[in-house]
Amino acid sequence: MHVRWIPSGTIYANSFVYENVLVDAGVLPMAVEPYAGEITSIVLTHAHYDHIAYVKEIARLCNDAAICIHEADAVGLVDDRRSLAMHFGARSPGVAPDTLLADGDRVGSLRVIHTPGHTPGGICLYDERAKVLFSGDTVFTGGSFGRYDFPDGDRTALAASIERLVGLEVEGLYPGHGEPVECGGGRHIAAAREALKYYG
C-alpha cells in the first residue's frame, strides 16, 4: 500500500495517509482535503500539540472520521499542560477520542505498538506485511529520537521502546518530523538505539 506523506512545512508534525487512516493531525486541513473522502480514522501517535492541532477540524472535514489515541495520552486532547499547547500559544483541541487504543490493537492493517518515553501514551503503527512503520516522535530518520525532557517524559521507557522497535523488520520508516525513508528503516532505528546510549 502506498504511503502518502503530507509534510507540515512548519514546526508542526508530518501527517501520512495509509489506506483509510490519517496518521497525526498537525497539518492544515486544506492539506488533507484531497484525501478527505478516503479517511475514516485519524490515529494520533501522541498528544503533543504539533501532532493534534487540527484534529477537530480534520475529523469534521473527513465526514466525522474516528479520532483514535492511546488511552494514556487521551487527556492531552483537553489538557493544555499535557499537550504542551502553551508552547505554541494555543489551546488543546478540546475533543474526546472515539477510540482509546492499547498495545496490540489494530486499525486497518496497522498494529498499535505502545512506545512510551516521549510521552506516556506514545505509539507507533506497524504493517508487518509491508514492513512499514509510522514512528511518531519515538525515532526519526538519521538515527535520532524523541525528547524525553518534556513533562511525563521517561528516558528509560524510551530506551525500552526503541529496543522493541529494533526487533521489527522495517523498510519504510515514516517519522513525525523530518523526511521519511522507503527502505532501510531498520538501520535508522538501530542508529537511534546507539545514539540514545550516549545521552542521559
pLDDT band at 120 (very low <50, low <70, confident <90, very high): very high
Between vectors from CA 117 to CA 112 and to CA 121, what angle results, nearest 5°? 45
Q: Which of 112, 114, 105, 104 is nearest to 157 (CA)?
A: 114
According to the model, what pLDDT value does residue 199 have?
72
The strand pairing partners of 21, in sequence order, are: 18, 41
Q: Which of 9-13, 16-20, 41-45, 46-50 has the lowest mean pLDDT?
A: 9-13
pLDDT at 8: 84
CA distance 92 to 168: 33
Tens digit of pLDDT for each residue in 123-181?
999 999 999 999 999 999 999 999 999 989 999 999 999 999 999 999 999 999 999 99
**What cell numbers appear for 95 in the block?**
475533543
Percent of the chain with pLDDT over 70: 99
- Give the tens place of pLDDT for each residue, 84-116: 999 999 999 999 999 999 999 999 999 999 999
Long-range contacts (CB closer than 8 Å, 24 or more residues apart) made by 157-160 = 157/116, 157/117, 157/120, 158/115, 158/116, 158/117, 158/118, 158/196, 159/117, 159/193, 159/196, 160/117
User: Domains along the chain?
Assistant: 4-197 (3.60.15.10)
Question: pLDDT value at position 200?
Answer: 54
Q: Determine the pLDDT at residue 142.
A: 95
